[in-house]
Structure 1
Amino acid sequence: MDPIEKKKELRRKAMKLPLSPGVYLMHDKSGQIIYIGKAKALKNRVSQYFGSEKNHDNKVRRMVSHVDWFEYIVCDSEFEALVLESSLIKQNQPKYNILLKDDKGYSYIRVSPGPWPRMTEVKKVEEDGAKYIGPYMSSWSIKQTIDSARKIFRLPDCSRKFPQDFGKGRPCLNYYIKQCCAPCRGRVSEEEYNEAFQEAMDFIKGGSSASVKVLTERMEQAAENLEFELAARLRDRINAIEMMGARQKVVASRVEEQDVFALAQGETHTAFEVFRFTGNRLSDRESFLTEGCQPDPEARSEFLRQYYAIRDRVPPLVVLDGEVEDEELLVRWLSEKRGKTVRLLVPQRGDQAQLVQMCRKNAAESIARQTGGSGRDASALDELRRLLGLEKAPAYIESYDISNLAGGENVAGMVVFENGRPLKSAYRKFKIKTVEGQDDYGSMREVIRRRFQEYYACQEKGEAEGFGRLPDLILLDGGKGHVAAVQPLLEEMGIEVPLFGMVKDDRHRTRAIAQGGGEIAISSYRRAYTLVSSIQDEVHRFAIGYHRQQRKKSAISSTLTSIPGIGEARAKALLKHFKTVTAVSEADLAELEGAPGMTKPAARRVWEHFHPEAAGLEEGL
């Protein structure tokens, strides 16, 4: 069946569904379940999939294109539908749902056998003669602890074997930054190494407080025995433990047990970050990267349901970076799962808000790794997405500015930022052709019309780069008047791209984002503000640079065309041949006669224009 007819048929079936709560299951041609969702009213929710695609992201469009049939289960309440949906997703693992793998098995610390032991984090115990400590629930926490112990007690983390590799290579960077004692040099005795290793194990087993107490007693005893070298070494270890503890306090929480969630969206993926706190300290951290972009409240709701479906521990407080869909249902579901009341919190200020910001920053880093950009740029784009209410992060931004002087030499510049960075190969210059005088609105409409006429021309040729690519966002250097002037044109041309203006203050600094109905304050959104300011400064620089170039050409051209017998064509030919007016003025008569497009009479008039005194002497002779 034709895809369009198939979609119409599915919509007709969806319109016959009851207006009752329930769960729906989408199947492909092979009968495989590809998506499971819940609905407050089945008819309304399911029919949306097979209506207009305008409000669907790419992931939903792909899912709908593969739906061959669907089934549904009517429930007594929306809460019952939520519980059933969670259970069915966990059971069937549909392709287009957010799927999280339950990889939280136990972790162990493995201590290798032999005289020069090493410690590593492993997932299972094996019969290999090594010593295993554990089990531990959080592999992240164990990795952090092992890393801290190595740095404090200066133990190697390389793959060199001792004593076989003594003296076979230079020490690595860790030795020079005092994070490794470098046994590879062959200058550390086995006794000294094992002593440091045992202290590291005591640190892991007993914690930092117990280690500091024991080391302090040993340091004082060493000082009394006049063993100053040993006392200094123990002092350095105590200082290292205290410094490590100070860094860990940055991610401490006043709440004893809580989970903190944040998300960041890129062009094609959504990253979720989870910080888990127990005993007022960060005990675990998890990162998830999922395909597709949904409105933030929907994404948070679906992620939370999947996350706690595969986790045994539900804390009394769940901190989020924004609103969540079905909040009351989620609270009820989490509370029943925990057996006690669970509270959802979206902090606006204070320590909790700072934890959310840290969590969101780490989510942006996941997006950056996926796109190959930087965490700062990914964070700025995600912040701009939230600020402007965009469906996805604007990876490809076009910005426009008009430049003229009292209506003369009317030009425009277009700059492009891709993944938060200037893409100079995509910059374009426009000479205004249809607008005369100082009419910025008319000039901007002309430029936008020409740009998207080129887009449609590229589409006919099958070209997807340059003007053949639609931007994710258009920013005009101007206020709501510019937006109001251009928005109807985009609608007329069938271009569905978000459009905003960039407003400056009296000092020509970015002040706000303009939209059709007013302005959006931006100064409190630090990363988004920096990005938009950079775009506005760059497009202004580019447009005014082009304007000055045109004015200079015009001035140069007028200098030559003021000479009798030298028109536009000959003036351009002279400039092309000699490069500058100065070079033309310094050329002798023979050189001017030999220039392209020149005649002897024309060459003499040019020469006489720049050498009037010499011409007068010739006449006198």
Structure 2
Amino acid sequence: MSAFEYKKAIADIPHKPGVYQYWDAEGTLIYIGKAKDLRNRVGSYFNKDTQMNGKTRVLVSRIRKITFTIVDTEIDAWLLENSLIKKHQPRYNIMLKDDKTYPWIIIRKEPFPRVFWTRKMIKDGSTYFGPYASVGMMHTILDLIRETYPLRTCNLPLTPENISEGKFKVCLEYQIGNCKGPCQAYQSTDDYDNNIEEIKDILNGKVGNVIKNVRKVIKTAVEALNFEYAHQYQLKLQILEKYQSKSTVVNSAITNIDVVSIASDERYAFVNYLKVMNGSIIQTQTIEIKKRLDETDEELLTIAITEFRTKFHSTSREIIVPFEIPFLDENLKFTVPKLGEKKKLLELSQKNVLFFKKEKLNQYEKLNPDLRTERILSQMQKDLRLTQLPHHIECFDNSNFQGKYPVSAIVVFKDAKPSKKDYRHFNVKTVEGPNDFATMEEAVYRRYKRMLEEENTLPQLIIIDGGKGQLSSALTSLRKLGIEKRVTVIGIAKKLEELYYPGDSYPLYLDKKSETLKVIQQLRDEAHRFGITFHRKKRDQGTLKTELEQVPGIGKTTADKLLRHFKSVKKIKEASESELSAILTKKQVQTLLTHFAPQ
């Protein structure tokens, strides 16, 4: 379309709520959206001042036709958008990853109704409860029903005529007490139907109502001195109260509300749904959404709410959400709780969605380790305010012993993993005494001077183990080499794990549990380990040389030869005269043997 055709298409769109559809040159539906003001929403896509990500710009470039459907209210637009996306699955709409067929509990429409679970909903007049996203929860409820209410499980046609004609005989289920024998009129229709009504209350989350009725029956039976009957209902009461204690999570005054929460990253979003009736969570589900156009959490949450309310046939007027949703409808109330029981429900939903997100991402990363690397690097870029992904990171650490044997170590991480073949040690050459700042300056200068001479790629991030002083020394070397603007350098202080940036007097504190900080700590600890190992080796060699040099006639050069050949003073002491003769003169051999001979 030309700019003129876009303007013409938009001019025909009214300022009313509805759903819009974008089509490409081949006549393929590529995107479906909803709006409370169709013209304003569609027009925003073609406004030059509107900031869009790359995917959205590609979508707009492919639009060749715009159609729309007007509806009465914004909630109608919600529902219509949801159904159209499911039907057409346009390329640029988000993907709801939920292709499972969830089970229902059915109360069959028949004489003496059976209660069982099914995955097929048939419009035959039967009553369905669900669907249940948790199969375990569904079986728990069915076990409660079977344990509390003797119901028939056979599929016999128990019409009054068949029963009166005596066509059926009781089976083993009757003998063991799981059925009261309606097939031989041992149980009346009224008694069976009373049980069914109580079961419906349980499935609707009204366990409290059932408990009240059971207590009344117990009281009446006791007053009538029918203790056996009272005992049967007392057992039923205990089962119901046990179930209620497990399922009730909030005040029972909170009834018929929906709770939703969301957790997202750059590629995926996860939304949890809780259905609450009389203080009990009777339905729950978490779904995964794959992003297509960098949708906001508000947009994703509204789509998910529509999906959940449609699937679970929700009629609640109140929805608890984690943030304000720009959605106006007199039949719906969105609540962002600050405290109290509703806040606890929202926190419970958030715990569920965060756990689900963590488990899903772990599964994806096990199947594709590159996803984990990309996620960690992206998080590091965001946390450390980097201009590019830190694929190559180097970390420096210094070691010395009372100013002697100063060394510096550098470790290298590539794609957030140690690259040990690139580790390096530096014997400090220009520093005398315990001067950590000068040691850092020399090590950094030598490292990157050589990289520039060899035309190697510089790291995206340099980490200095130390505070402002060490960071300033490192920056001095980078300035001398003219690369201070080509790399990012930060310092990490040990005391509070604070991060320092050049020219910024205030440190950056990362969450102690953040993966970014964990990678930096791993780098720092690895540099310290690598540096200390080299430093101890050098220090030990210095101590051994000093001991050998105390032998008359053995100088520094000869001590070096002995240590290189025998590796330790102990082995030198144990060496035979012929073995020592390969390194020393005859006079030196005799002197050495005399020096180390037992007193």
Greater Cα shift, 534-543 or 16-25: 16-25
2:258 and 2:318 in contact (8 A); partners too? yes
> How big is the shift at 1:271?
1.6
Distance 2:447 2:146 in 1: 63
Match of 1:176 in 2: none
Distance 2:255 2:49 in 1: 42
Match of 1:167 in 2: none
> How big is the shift at 1:365?
2.9
Deviations along 1:412-435, one digit per CA (max 9) or x if unpaired, are 4467997xxxx6788974435899
Distance 2:496 2:542 in 1: 36
Match of 2:409 in 1: 411
Aligned residue among 290, 296, 299 for 2:296: 299
2:25 and 2:63 in contact (8 A); partners too? no
SS in 1 for 2:248: helix
Deviations along 1:456-508, one digit per CA (max 9) or x if unpaired, are 9799xxxxxxx9xx9xx99876668889978999994488xxx987665xxx3
Pairing 1:290–2:289 present: yes
Match of 2:397 in 1: 402
TM-score normalized by structure 1? Answer: 0.56
Q: 1:613 to 1:447 in 2, by over 3 A?
A: closer
Match of 2:531 in 1: 547
SS in 2 for 1:271: strand
Deviations along 1:218-277, one digit per CA (max 9) or x if unpaired, are 7997xx9998xx96x987775554344233233668754543332223564222222333
Distance 2:265 2:27 in 1: 32
Aligned residue among 573, 595, 599 for 1:612: 595
TM-score normalized by structure 2? Answer: 0.58
Q: 1:124 to 1:448 in 2, by over 3 A?
A: farther
Distance 1:189 1:397 in 2: 74
Aligned residue among 415, 425, 430 for 1:431: 425
The AA in structure 2 aligned to 1:372 is N
Give 1 or 2 for the bigger CA radius of gyration.
2
Q: 1:256 to 1:235 in 2, by over 3 A?
A: closer
Identical columns (%): 15
Pairing 1:320–2:321 present: yes
Distance 2:240 2:446 in 1: 62
Q: Structure 1: which 5+ residue stretches go unaligned? A: 1-9, 50-55, 156-160, 163-186, 460-466, 594-598
Deviations along 1:69-128, one digit per CA (max 9) or x if unpaired, are 2247599x9x99999798567354322322448989996425899xxx99434332499x
Aligned residue among 44, 65, 75 for 1:41: 44
Deviations along 1:548-592, one digit per CA (max 9) or x if unpaired, are 2111110233245554334767745543xxxx5544544444556
Aligned residue among 26, 32, 45 for 2:28: 32
Deviations along 1:175-217, one digit per CA (max 9) or x if unpaired, are xxxxxxxxxxxx999614558xx99988743433466567776
Distance 1:226 1:590 in 2: 106
Trace 1:111-510 onto structure 2 (pairs within 5 A). 119-125=116-122, 134-140=127-133, 144-150=137-143, 191-194=176-179, 204-207=199-202, 208-209=207-208, 212=211, 238-239=237-238, 241-250=240-249, 255-266=254-265, 268-292=267-291, 298-310=295-307, 311=309, 313=314, 316-322=317-323, 327=325, 330-332=326-328, 335=329, 339-340=330-331, 342-343=333-334, 345=336, 347=337, 351-372=341-362, 388=383, 400=395, 402-405=397-400, 408-413=406-411, 429-431=423-425, 437-439=435-437, 492-493=485-486, 508-510=495-497
Aligned residue among 545, 557, 562 for 2:541: 557
Distance 2:291 2:280 in 1: 32
Match of 2:165 in 1: none
Q: 1:395 to 1:373 in 2, by over 3 A?
A: farther
Distance 1:554 1:314 in 2: 76
> How big is the shift at 1:366?
2.8
Distance 1:147 1:395 in 2: 50
Distance 1:237 1:450 in 2: 83
The AA in structure 2 aligned to 1:356 is L
Q: 1:88 to 1:218 in 2, by over 3 A?
A: closer
Deviations along 1:262-301, one digit per CA (max 9) or x if unpaired, are 2223564222222333444434323221224887xx4222
Distance 2:558 2:348 in 1: 68
Deviations along 1:385-442, one digit per CA (max 9) or x if unpaired, are 9994999xx9999795634346922224467997xxxx67889744358996523875
Q: 1:451 to 1:101 in 2, by over 3 A?
A: farther
Distance 1:206 1:82 in 2: 29
SS in 1 for 2:531: helix
Aligned CA-pair RMSD: 6.4
Distance 1:240 1:474 in 2: 64
